[in-house]
Amino acid sequence: MLKALSRNLLKLFGWTVIEPPARPARAVLVGYPHTSNWDGVIALFTKLALGLDARWLAKESLFCGPLDWIFRRLGGIPIKRNVRNGFVADMVAQFAANPNFLLVIAPEGTRSLTNGWKSGFYRIALGAQVPVALAFVDYARRQAGILTYLTMTGDPATDIAAIAAHYEGRVGKHPELASPIRWLD
């Protein structure tokens, strides 16, 4: 019922939800572009509309008061963004322990403009040997969902070029804040 309600609510506001066939049981979902708080709202309804049992990362400071329980119930995982604490290894272990595990990451790490993408999602996908799902919210087309599932080759230059090609023309709410698709690290 929640799936139909979410799909209808998005449709009411003029959004179309898309996803390619053959969803894998395990994948790292990359959310791009991430330029507004509204991206998270639309992405959450898209997650529900697609029936994705996905976990998602957000900065630790969002998990406070009653929002802590709500966000965790909706699949949220709080993360300390500026602390190196073995998070990639922890997520690889989660994939190894769970036959069905979808993890959503915004590779920009913020809604602000950055010089490129953080590589954590890539290292997790390679370490867990799972595909990368290219999730998106496109305000120009009023579409949200998943563009494709890509298997990473292990060649960072080749892989980031393939990712960039798929996201070509996808527009965030604030296009000027969409970080270029290139490695930051």
Comparing CA positions, the residue from 57, 136, 128, 62 lying closest to residue 98 is 128
Radius of gyration of the chain (CA): 15
Q: Is the pLDDT of residue 129 over 80?
A: yes
| Structure confidence at residue 149 (pLDDT) | 97
**One-character DSSP codes across 82-96:** T--SSHHHHHHHHHH
- Model pLDDT for residues 17-37, shown as the tens digit of each residue: 999 999 999 999 999 988 888
Q: Is the pLDDT of residue 51 over 90?
A: yes
The whole-angstrom distance between residue 180's C-alpha and the CA centroid of its chain comes to 16
**Distance, CA of 92 to CA of 95 (rounded, Å):** 5
| Structure confidence at residue 19 (pLDDT) | 95
The CA-to-CA distance between both ends of the chain, in Å, stands at: 42
What element of type H or E holds 43? helix 37-50
DSSP reduced 3-state for 2 = helix
| Structure confidence at residue 39 (pLDDT) | 85
Compute how many other C-beta atoms are within 10 angstroms of the C-beta atom of residue 26.
18
**Using an 8 Å Cβ cutoff, are 146 and 134 in contact?**
yes
Which of the two residues, 15 and 36, has the higher pLDDT score? 15
Distances (CA, A) of 147 to 30, 94, 117, 177: 10, 24, 18, 21
Comparing CA positions, the residue from 163, 52, 53, 145 lying closest to residue 108 is 163
